[in-house]
Amino acid sequence: MNRGIYKPRDYQQNSIGQVRAACSQGKKTILVLPTGGGKTKTAVYGIVQKAISKGAPVVWLAHRVELIGQADADLLSAGVRTGIIRGSTKPDPSALCQVASIQTLCNRLDKLPPAKVVVIDECHHVRSATYMSVVQRYQQTGAIIVGLTATPERLDGKGLGDVFDTIVETVTVRELIESGHLADYEYFAPSLPDLTGVKKTAGDFHRGGAAAAMDKPTITGNLVRHYQKHLGGRRALVFAAGVDHSKKLVAAFDLAGIAAAHLDAKTPEAERRETLAKFGAGDIQVVSNVDLFDEGFDVPACQGVVIARPTQSFVKHRQMIGRCLRVKADGSRAIILDHAGNFLRHGMPDDITEWSLDDKAKTPTETPSYKQCPQCFAVLAIQDRACHCCGYVFTRVPRSGPEFQDGTLEKVKQKRWTTSEKRDLYRTLMAKARASGYMPGWAKRQYRNKTKVWPKGFVDEIDRASFRLCKHRKMSQATGRCKHCGDYCGPGGLEKSYN
């Protein structure tokens, strides 16, 4: 089969280069790209095609039927002949690339297909016993291990360092939005629902308790009404707290004349495919689901999400809201309606996250970092006693929890930086770095934390001006270079660097 034609984007090409470099050093590597950033295509065209062209067998591991189907489709479109290893599916052992269900391979440990390269889709699940039983076998053979995920983190805080050695992340959500590869968004949210008394199971809210808390007419905002107000007939995914809860929501949408359908993990495959085909064609406006679309599932037709499931999982939160961030044909913004108050626990879609392979200490998450002013709806730090925008003074919330009434979702406002503001910010940070004796990288990291993108476009100009003003007070006797300016100073200094 002829190789498919696809030109990786710049950030994908950068990711491919870094992953290959890490693998050449024998490092087991995680490729992190935001939801919608094209992890599968990056791995297919940058890793799998390369291995196949050299005659190296590849095994692609996934834990869901939909993920297996999507990977297989992308591989075939790239000209890679595949075999499927899953249940009763007819195998093709002669294919160099095998797309395999991890559950099936776990039951066939003595018959694992050969692999020089193993790709693990949604690799944040790799610490499970099912995955470890298979991956350890391949590790013993010296296979190259590459993981794919948007969120290399687990709810239980266990790191992925037992399997992987390094993380490659080359682009942020905000950078993808600004470059036109992801849709910008509008985020609407009420206060937290009353989860008093809802127990936790394995670190997250108990399914039945969360469903009972959300399945009340007095919870702030009515999902159907706010769908009509903010999405107005556009296609949306609803994330429900439980199966019964999801079916009730679908009934409410139907009653309002909005075509809706329910799907969950037990829905027959044929029905799933038919429902999603109708959703893609616009015959169904709303698909409510439970634990089906919250990771690694492509639904390009999705124009908005309605979050009706509270969660303590940062990963689940990011995966749910990421479903609607793919670029829309009409250029419209994605709409996120958060009826569960998850943003108060986990932040916004484009917040910067520093990933680590180490175990993470569990920290209480009961107290949110933000709250909303009920008068002007500004988002404030939780400790603020008065709103800095309108002067509203907060009163103490009774220990038993607030009383909720129907209300209106309001947009969560975020700072949007103009080019001029970015330039001024970077110049100010560089001046502070120079005055404090910090390395230039400090200013760049601070800039990224504030704007959610790396500085570019004006960096050389401001760096040149800043370094020319350096007093060289921290010269290294060993290298003859300024400890502050690094490569820009020393013998020949600026002239050598810029001429």
- List per-residue pLDDT tens for the chain, 499 residues long: 445 577 899 999 999 999 999 999 999 999 999 988 999 999 999 999 999 999 999 999 999 888 999 999 999 999 999 999 998 789 899 999 999 999 999 999 999 999 999 999 999 999 999 999 999 999 999 999 999 999 998 888 888 999 999 999 999 999 999 999 999 998 887 666 778 888 988 889 998 999 998 987 755 447 888 899 889 889 999 999 999 999 999 999 999 999 999 999 899 989 988 999 999 999 999 999 998 887 766 777 899 999 999 999 999 999 999 999 999 888 899 999 999 988 888 888 988 888 989 887 655 444 445 565 464 333 455 666 775 444 678 776 444 443 444 566 666 666 677 887 788 788 888 777 765 566 778 888 888 888 878 888 887 777 776 655 555 555 555 555 565 555 444 433 333 333 3
Helix (H, G, I), strand (E, B) or coil at 316: helix
Contact (CB, 8 A) for 198 and 59: no
d(CA 214, CA 288): 14
**Which class for 335: exposed (0-12), middle (13-18), buried (19 or more C-beta within 10 A)?**
buried
pTM of the model: 0.74
Q: What φ, ψ does residue 187 adopt, rounded to 5°?
A: -120, 120
H or E stretch covering 374: none
Side-chain half-sphere CA neighbours of 474 within 13 A: 11
d(CA 66, CA 71): 9
The total number of residues shown for the chain amounts to 499
How many CB atoms within 10 Å of residue 453? 21
Structure tokens at 283: 């015959």
d(CA 339, CA 434): 46
How many CB atoms within 10 Å of residue 29? 23
Read out DSSP for 29-61? EEEE--TTS-HHHHHIIIIIHHHHHTT--EEEE
Of 289, 315, 362, nearest in space to 122 by CA: 315
Structure tokens at 134: 């298979």
For the chain, the straight-line distance linking the first and the last C-alpha, in angstroms and rounded, comes to 50
Of 340, 103, 323, 298, nearest in space to 204 by CA: 340
Handedness of CA 31, 32, 35, 37 (dihedral sign): negative
Structure tokens at 304: 């908005």
Q: Which residues contact 16 (CB under 8 A, 6 or more apart)?
A: 8, 42, 45, 46, 47
Structure tokens at 56: 């190296």
Helix (H, G, I), strand (E, B) or coil at 278: helix
Contact (CB, 8 A) for 153 and 117: no
Q: Which residues contact 152 (CB under 8 A, 6 or more apart)?
A: 30, 32, 123, 124, 160, 167, 355, 357
How many CB atoms within 10 Å of residue 262? 23
Helix (H, G, I), strand (E, B) or coil at 247: helix
d(CA 314, CA 438): 33
For residue range 82-112, list pLDDT tens digits in order: 999 998 789 899 999 999 999 999 999 999 9
DSSP state of 475: B
Structure tokens at 273: 């495919």
The CA-based angle 275-239-282, given to 5 degrees, is 35
H or E stretch covering 373: none
Helix (H, G, I), strand (E, B) or coil at 124: helix
How many CB atoms within 10 Å of residue 269? 10
| Angle of helix 440-451 versus helix 419-436 axis, rounded to 10 | 140
